[in-house]
Amino acid sequence: MSAGELTATQHQLWALSQGTTSPAALTLAYALRVEGLLDVDALAGAFRAFVLSHEPLRTSFRERDGVVVAEVADDDRALAGLDLVPKEVDEIEVAAAIRREREWRFDLREETPLRVSLLRIAPDRHVLLVTLHHIAGDGWSLYLLNRDVSAHYTTLADGGRVEPVRRGFECSDQARSQRAWLAGPDAEGEARWWVDRLRGAAVEASLPGRSRRDAGAVLRRQTAAIPDALVARLRELAKQAGVSLYATLLAAFEVLIERWTGCERAVIGTLAANRPTAASCEVMGAHYNPLLLDTDVTGDPSLLECLLRTSARTLSALDHQALPFAAVRRALVDAFGDEWDVAPRAMFLMDRYPLAGLELAGCRLTGLHAGDGAGAVAAVPAATDADVTFFVREVGDRLTLSVLYRDDTGLDDASIAAVSHAYLEILAALCDRPETPVGELDPFEAGPGAPTAAHEEPGLHEVTRLAPVDALSPVGDWMGSAQWREVMA
């Protein structure tokens, strides 16, 4: 076995994995319904080539003299997580299998971090289960999975051959590059940029209902479909304004935070891919980096001006995403004091359904969600210290809003329902009345109105209708500046 270094994010996830009582908080688990004549041998060969082409998928982890290292396994051990001999099941067993994978606890010392299995309901109906430990992959990594497995499957199904790619640059090489960069002057310059950017911002905007904070609190989740007509108007607005749909949705969230808390320069969090080079874009592994954004709703701007400000400030922050979150926190603590040694209390995230890009020639693939019958509010295990996270997931032309909130902050279900409704009101106002000053907007005035949260029924549901979020990339106070000094010493 060969040994390699870990990225900064992998170090944090390793430390978290050793102490968490909730393995699902570190697991990315997805299920796809596959309809059509599936070539099982081609699918197995496609995943085999994919695993053998990416070191993080063949890696287990060990501590040597107090230092965590990544050990690359031989091929047989690396492929142990692939079980693509179809198991005959019915619909009830499929739902149980999806929940079981969602709760899977990887033993990172003994097993590799990817599990793939195949269930057969009928000769032309299968369910593909893909379960990945976050230490081996992030959102960008799943794009690589979609691209490579799709291409390998097509080649093999057509009778061709696929050989594993032994690339010259791997995740461990990116980890070494990151460590070397952090020791140089460029990293110091990035730290100064973040101190200057966040000077005067409020690191802890006072969210209503905050109380005590218990470690390991379970998140509650309310989910709603953003109306299709509103989504179409938002896309058109973004196009006319020359900004992304993400920036449009984020701008509404920033206005919501100001209307909710009264804070014009609150610090909120999001996630950046943190792939600084073309080579780093081709490797698996956890590279994502929490990014601090300071809202700017000063001077009572119009909603349109807020949108333009949000887009510009987000783009500038993304230009400085390489400095690991814990190093940013260390610089902020040194500059402003210990009150900055915290994770963001409000987060905004957006993604496309992670396996939406997987294509198996001749088959129709649809993402599945196994409902727990929890009604309007579900429980979701997650390793985040944010009081509230707004997560918008895109599937096709549709958008689903999941609002996740801690159960130890005093934010109750009714208040979150009102806040979710207020967010939709702000989105509508942004489309219909973009010239409206923020100070004239009261999205809470009419009350929550009709419930916006969808009721979760038991059984299997296609994510094309509603795509709830079952996992969050871990972000928390455990990514602290003190721990960072030890990790990168």
Q: pLDDT of 67-118, one tens digit each?
A: 898 999 888 888 999 999 999 999 889 999 999 999 999 999 999 999 999 9
Query: pLDDT digits over 412-428, tens only?
Result: 899 999 999 999 999 99
Locus of tokens 């209390």? 345
Q: What is the pTM of this model?
A: 0.93
Residues contacting residue 85 through CB under 8 Å, at least 6 positions apart = 40, 118
State the Cα–Cα distance between residues 172 and 456, nearest whole angstrom: 41
The fraction of the chain above a pLDDT of 70, given in percent, is 92
Whether 2-174 and 190-353+368-478 share one fold: the answer is yes
128 forms bridges with which residues in the sheet?
32, 118
293 forms bridges with which residues in the sheet?
268
Of 414, 451, 422, 457, which is closest to residue 438 (Cα–Cα)? 422
What pLDDT is recorded for position 191? 97
State the Cα–Cα distance between residues 30 and 139, nearest whole angstrom: 12
Indicate the pLDDT class of residue 1, thresholds 50, 70 and 90.
Answer: very low
Q: Which fold has domain 190-353+368-478?
A: Chloramphenicol Acetyltransferase (3.30.559)
Q: CA of 287: how far to CAs of 103, 155, 281, 309, 322, in Å?
A: 23, 30, 10, 27, 10
Locus of tokens 């500038």? 316
What pLDDT is recorded for position 75? 84
Domain regions of the chain by residue span: 2-174, 190-353+368-478
State the Cα–Cα distance between residues 253 and 348, nearest whole angstrom: 7
What pLDDT is recorded for position 193? 98
Under CATH, to which class is 2-174 assigned? alpha beta
- Burial of 168 by CB count in 10 Å (0-12 exposed, 13-18 middle, 19+ buried)? exposed
DSSP state of 227: P
